[in-house]
Structure 1
Amino acid sequence: MIHVFSTCGILYAGEDKWSVDPRVSLVTLNQEEFSIKIENVDMTDEGQYICAVQTSSKPRTTSVHIIVQVPPKIMSLSKDIVVNEGSNVTLMCSASGKPEPSVTWKLLSPSGHGLSSDDEYLEIPAITRQRAGMYECTAVNEVSTDVQTVELTVNYAPSVVEGKDVGVTLGQRGVLQCEADAVPQADFEWYRDDRRIFNGFDGIEIEDDGALSKLTFFNVSEADYGNYTCVAINKLGAANTSIVLYGESSTC
């Protein structure tokens, strides 16, 4: 007679099933070969299994130890985060699995400002705008890999591209342009000397499109010539640049 034991007790005595687990079954290959089949293996199935065969002389036993491997799963991950430039940032990623998975961090950056860590924690002191982006946490063991991402947004005060003076003939269309780099996106204000210009003021149109603001004169007059200031503003600060609109002689 054959007996099959596990760390939880007797599974089979002969062909009589003692285990109440429906996942476990005895497979008889022939009179001398027997197998135990366990479906949908989980961690509770790990341990030593003993097969004992009763012969006329003495019982013979053999054993096998089952090690259950578990794919990695990221259990805890930092949420998407928004910080101001210069802040110290810590991203955390913990994972479970068997064997214990290794955890790595990587900044997915096409700009070449790569950043990585071979630890659950990624420390970024005095963060700069170049370190903003999508951070990827990877947990890997012998079974498989789990990957999740965190988006890190870095706020910073506006900086503006130096304005270019524009020459326009009387009666022609003229456009002054102001470009700003900022997070959050900057709001624009235009001034003539110390007086703010509003959209539609004296036939002037102001059009903002993301990081670019345009001040358009549809019919330049002598009074339009002069110095204009563009100011870019967000909650962290402001920056400005000056642009001169000047007369340009017409050519015949």
Structure 2
Amino acid sequence: MVAGRPDVCFSVQSLAGIIFTLTCFLPSCLPAGRTGEGTLVDTVTSRQGDTALLRCYLLDGLSKGAWLNRSSIMFTGGDKWSADPRVSVVTGGGNKHEYSLQIQKVDISDEGRYTCVVQNNLNPQSNHIFLSVKVPPKIYDVSSDVTVNEGGNVSLFCMASGRPEPSISWRHITPLAMKYQTGEDLNISGITKDQAGEYECIAQNDASAPNTKSLRVTVNYPPSIHEMKFTGVGVARTALLRCEALGVPTPAFEWYRGTKRLTRAQGTDIQTLRSRSVLSMTNMTQDRYGNYTCVAVNMLGKASASMPLLPPSTASYGGASRVGVALVAWLLPLVLFSFLAMC
């Protein structure tokens, strides 16, 4: 029935030969990486989401080709057997007669062994390609922000996925950028206030750039006063006393003159901003001089510092001069007597 159409006869025979040949390569019991003849499989590596191209070339313009995926026929010649819209065959003429398989938006499920069968006069040749899919690292779970008292223990965790399995490292985000051991868990024993701050989890493999997430570790510690000073103590002038303290949580401040706690009143004001408190007293009088104490308090303890606020000297300039003249009058004869004795 096809005797008058040799081209159709060849096409049908070629197709039949290809399908027959494909059945010889369908068994899935062969280990990945080797063919039934013991030849090594070429490997193509692609990243998840990219387009993979598995190259194959026909022997000449009369050769026919086909593609298999594991135990399924994907293409025979230009006929598509696969229902996957992402796959297509890239063809080209010239000397190489390209017949390559293209897979768009590659995913992990596409990983595996592919076979390109080239049929020419019932003499099949096969090219085996293993598609390896890499997946960029992605952190999917990480510790929440942590608050701990100084001296306590901290346990942080960071979970990530990817192919190859990503490595995880930790970094303390400070000017020194201190790095910690690698691993999903970070344990800090006897934490100090210097170890407070932001911590960064870094997941990386060779598929793409690292994936990072950060969290904050807050370390509570009792207050300590590191500076107390005053300016202006003259009568009728304004006196300013400044107190600075560090502590977490931020400490509250109290001021005392002697044992009496001071509050805002006529001529007295207290201003506090974060770690600093300023006591100001206008129009100083004699009864407001004395010993002043600054107290910083938070839930872990308190610290205090005191300093005397004294009025300036009340001695007059003339009185001081008379004392100096009397002293010179008493010493002068002794000096003259000593000089004459030497002569």
> Please, what TM-score do these two structures have when normalized by structure 1?
0.93
Aligned equivalents of 2:299, 2:277: Cα separation in 1: 18
| Corresponding residue of 1:193 | 258
Give the Cα–Cα distance (whole angstroms) in 1 for the partners of residues 230 and 177 of structure 2: 34
Determine helix, strand or coil for the equivalent of 1:169. Answer: coil
Indicate conservation of the 8 Å contact 1:166/1:243, yes or no.
Answer: no
Whether 1:247 aligns to 2:247 is no
| Structure 1 match to 2:202 | 138
Residue 199 (structure 1) shift: 1.3
CA contact (8 A) 2:137 2:163 kept: yes
Q: Does 1:28 align with 2:119?
A: no
Give 1:66 shift.
0.6
Displacement after TM superposition at 1:58 (Å): 2.4
The match for 1:69 is 134
Relative to structure 1, the CA distance from residue 195 to residue 212 in structure 2 (aligned partners, 3 Å threshold; closer, same or farther) is: same
- Per-residue CA distance 1:140-186 (angstroms, 9 max, x = gap): 11122111111111111111125346661111111111110011111
User: Aligned AA for 1:9?
Assistant: S
Query: What are the Cα deviations for residues 187-227 of structure 1, in whole angstroms up to 9, with x where unaligned?
Result: 10111222211112x42110101111111111110001111
Partner of 2:73: 10
The equivalent residue for 2:297 is 233
Distance between the aligned counterparts of 1:169 and 1:39, measured in 2? 84
Separation in 2 of the partners of 1:114 and 1:226?
Answer: 48
Instruction: Read off the aligned partner of 2:74 and give its amino acid letter.
Output: L
Q: Number of aligned pairs?
A: 250
- Measured in 1, the distance between the counterparts of 2:165 and 2:196 equals 30
SS in 1 for 2:207: coil
Q: Does 1:93 align with 2:161?
A: no
CA distance, structure 2, for counterparts of residue 153 and residue 58 of structure 1:
73
Larger CA deviation: 92-101 vs 122-131: 92-101
Find the residue that maps to 2:310 and give its secondary structure. strand
Tell me the residue number matched to 1:182.
247
Runs of 4+ in 1 over 6 A off after TM superposition: none
Q: Which runs of 5 or more structure 2 residues have no equivalent in the other structure?
A: 1-63, 318-343
- Identify unmatched segments of 5+ residues in structure 1: none
Question: Structure 2: how far apart are the matches of 1:8 and 1:140?
Answer: 35
1:127 aligned partner: 191
Contact 1:169 1:249 in 2 (8 A): no
SS of 1:248's partner is: coil
Q: Which residue of 2 aligns with 1:48?
A: 113
Provide the aligned C-alpha RMSD in A: 1.9
1:4 partner amino acid: W
Describe the superposition over 1:83-117 as per-residue Cα deviations: whole angstroms up to 9, x where unpaired.
1111100111121111111111010112x483422
Q: Whole-Å Cα distance in 2 between the matches of residues 62 and 163 of structure 1?
A: 83
Structure 1 contact 74–139 (Cα < 8 Å) conserved:
yes
Change (3 A) 1:214 1:157: same
Alpha-carbon distance in structure 2 between the residues aligned to 1:113 and 1:222: 54
TM normalised by structure 2 equals 0.69
Contact between 1:167 and 1:245, CA under 8 Å: does it hold in 2? no
Which secondary structure state, in structure 2, belongs to the residue aligned with residue 68 of structure 1? strand
Q: Which has the larger radius of gyration?
A: 2
Q: Deviations over 1:216-248 (max 9, x none)?
A: 111110001111111111111111111211111
1:84 to 149, 159, 162: 149
Instruction: Name the structure where helix makes up a greater proportion of residues.
Output: 2
Calculate percent identity across the aligned residue pairs: 42
